Amino acid sequence: MPVMSGKVVAITGASSGIGEATAALLAERGAAVVLGARRQERLDEIVRSIRDRGGRGAACITDVTRREDLERLVGQAVAEFGRLDVLVSNAGISKIGPVANLDVDAWSAMIDVNLRGVLHGIAAALPVFRQQGQGHFVTTVSTAGLKIVPTMSVYAGTKNAVRTILEGLRQESTDGVLRTTSVSPGYVRTELANSIDDTEVRGQIQHNMDEFAISPEAVARAIAFAIEQPHDVEISDITIRPTTQG
């Protein structure tokens, strides 16, 4: 029997990159996956691909800045598959640039997606996890929060805020019901650079991705590793980066 048979996993940011790769891998290993993102057509394509390979999948249009969208995503998982075991909060944007640019709108957008979006997911899934007696929050953060570099300070701040919240939630939840996992990828071949408005910074980030970024599937395998552990084992933090990244 597949390792994840019976598990139900909801994933935000699932229309490309790490989210798409994670959905495909978990479905292959037996999980039912509910994909959340804003691009309906893309989500439908991925779900069809999963089903064509014998997996179980569903799509739910989800804008993580809207609390009601996360409630709908969680609700659809429970309604369609009977429960929710894992919420993978993967949606994120990187409107990075020097602080001196004073791009307040970009700062607000990152706070809304990277931080508030994760909180919306926690608010939606936590009552379900408590009612079931178990649940797992897996959240994509970033190595940008581990090594602070120019142009990434606000972006790193949103990611480190999430890291802090998850650690606080972990310490509040030592009754064996919840697990939390922070996954910090380095450079990964995704569409993340597309959200960078500063053309010079975007060009440098895209160059680095082209030069040495790892595949989204590598991060998906790390996420799967954390999920597949017995429920009394918690993988709290995973850092995964290219071997050539400084």
Nearest to 196 by CA among 113, 91, 110, 104: 110
What is the rounded CA–CA span in Å between residue 84 and residue 118? Answer: 16
Look at residue 208 and tell me if it is in a domain. no
Look at residue 206 and tell me if it is in a domain. no
What is the rounded CA–CA span in Å between residue 122 and residue 115? Answer: 11
Using the structure block, give the residue that is written with the tokens 């249009």: 61
The confidence score (pLDDT) of residue 96 equals 86
Look at residue 19 and tell me if it is in a domain. yes
What is the rounded CA–CA span in Å between residue 94 and residue 169? Answer: 25
What is the rounded CA–CA span in Å between residue 186 and residue 174? Answer: 29
Look at residue 168 and tell me if it is in a domain. yes
Residue 198 has pLDDT above 80, yes or no: no
Residue 228 has pLDDT above 90, yes or no: yes
User: What is the average pLDDT across 125-130?
Assistant: 98
pLDDT exceeding 70 applies to what percent of the chain? 99
Alpha-helix residue ranges (DSSP H) falling in the chain: 17-28, 40-52, 67-81, 104-110, 117-132, 153-172, 199-212, 216-228
Residue 194 has pLDDT above 80, yes or no: no
User: What is the average pLDDT across 110-132?
Assistant: 98
What is the rounded CA–CA span in Å between residue 246 and residue 19? Answer: 25
Residue 113 has pLDDT above 90, yes or no: yes
Look at residue 84 and tell me if it is in a domain. yes
Residue 191 has pLDDT above 80, yes or no: no
Q: Which of 155, 166, 178, 188 is catalytic?
A: 155
Judged by phi (left if over 0) then psi (alpha if -120 to 50, else beta), residue 82 lies in: left
Show the tokens assigned to 27. 């479905």
Angle, helices 117-132 vs 153-172, to 10°: value is 20
- The three-class DSSP label of residue 240 is strand
The confidence score (pLDDT) of residue 129 equals 98
Show the tokens assigned to 236. 């709290």
Range(s) of the domain holding residue 139: 8-93+111-186+215-240
Residue 208 has pLDDT above 90, yes or no: no
Higher pLDDT, 63 or 5: 63
User: What is the average pLDDT across 109-129?
Assistant: 98
Tens digits of residue pLDDT in 29-52: 999 999 999 999 999 999 999 999
Look at residue 64 and tell me if it is in a domain. yes
Look at residue 197 and tell me if it is in a domain. no
The confidence score (pLDDT) of residue 1 equals 58
Using the structure block, give the residue that is written with the tokens 């019901």: 177
Q: Roughly how many angstroms between the first and final C-alpha of the chain, as a whole number?
A: 41
What is the rounded CA–CA span in Å between residue 157 and residue 186? Answer: 16
Look at residue 57 and tell me if it is in a domain. yes
- Domain total of the chain: 1
> Which residues 6+ apart lie within 8 Å of 218 measured at CB?
188, 240
Show the tokens assigned to 138. 């897996």
The confidence score (pLDDT) of residue 78 equals 98
Q: Are 185 and 195 in contact (CB under 8 A)?
A: no
Confidence of residue 28 (pLDDT cuts 50, 70, 90): very high
CATH of the domain at 23: 3.40.50.720
Reply yes or no on whether 187 is catalytic: no
Using the structure block, give the residue that is written with the tokens 């970024």: 213
| pTM for the predicted model, two decimal places | 0.93
**Average predicted confidence (pLDDT) for the chain:** 94
Confidence of residue 205 (pLDDT cuts 50, 70, 90): confident
The confidence score (pLDDT) of residue 137 equals 98
